[in-house]
Amino acid sequence: SSPLFVSSNQGEIALSYLMAAYSIHRPFVNDDFDYLKQNIRQIGCKTRSLNNSLLISYEVRYLTSQEQETQIKHGLDEIMVSLCVNDKKSDLLKTKLIYDFILSNVEYDFKYANHSAYNALFDKKAVCEGCAALLYRMLCFANVPCRIITGKGLQDRHAWNIAKIGKYWYNLDVTWDLYCRKKDRVLTDYRWFLKGEQTFLMHTRDPQYTVDGFVSKHL
């Protein structure tokens, strides 16, 4: 998790305000909401009481620079056109095209140095954070509802996605499917693609993704 440095005992309040800001989701945008929150490298926070008010100042450092974010945007524009994603009416077909693109173009970073969507897209190597972030960006670009989920895969910290296909939300772990990718795969070859909770084994969500308020919106 990203380090948080606060200079007062009001830091918990300050953090809750920041997380509330990251919970704002604008339709048809793919670089806010879950992506922005998961892209945090470090947060600096100071609070000060003044005239019955609480003044909060933040310094947020992200995994990517503004220049890299611009490159991601331009890169996704080109890739999504080349994949003809928006020509596909089915969210299932869109999701499969995007999933296959990541499987074919990204490798897992066993040195654990690459954590961002930029790393996955341009360095073609990333850990689960980068893979999940890139899948989120691409699915949102294609107007497929998507979230980033964090928790544990087996006993290690892990990140994956959920996506809404039709009426229901399904789990996708593109990182784990990188280990078993094949040429010219068909849908039945996947192990971690569009899985329900009962078949999505060895994944444990962080508590904020198991509370009733979240689960009821993502059934």
In the chain, the amino acid numbered 35 is: Y
- Where is mean pLDDT largest: 33-47, 149-163, 176-190? 149-163
Query: Could you tell me how many helices (H) and strands (E) the chain has, helices first?
Result: 8, 9
Q: N- to C-terminal Cα distance for the chain? A: 26
Instruction: Summarize pLDDT for 91-148 with one digit per residue, the tens.
Output: 999 999 999 999 999 999 999 999 999 999 999 999 999 999 999 999 999 999 999 9
- pLDDT at 7 > cutoff 60: no
Dist. CA 123–CA 162, nearest whole Å? 24
Structure tokens at 145: 């509802």
Name the residue with tokens 């980033």.
148
pLDDT in tens, 34-75: 999 999 998 888 878 778 787 888 888 999 999 999 999 999
Please give the structure tokens belonging to residue 45: 């926070």
- pLDDT in the model for residue 5: 46
Q: How far apart are CA 94 and CA 144, in angstroms?
A: 8
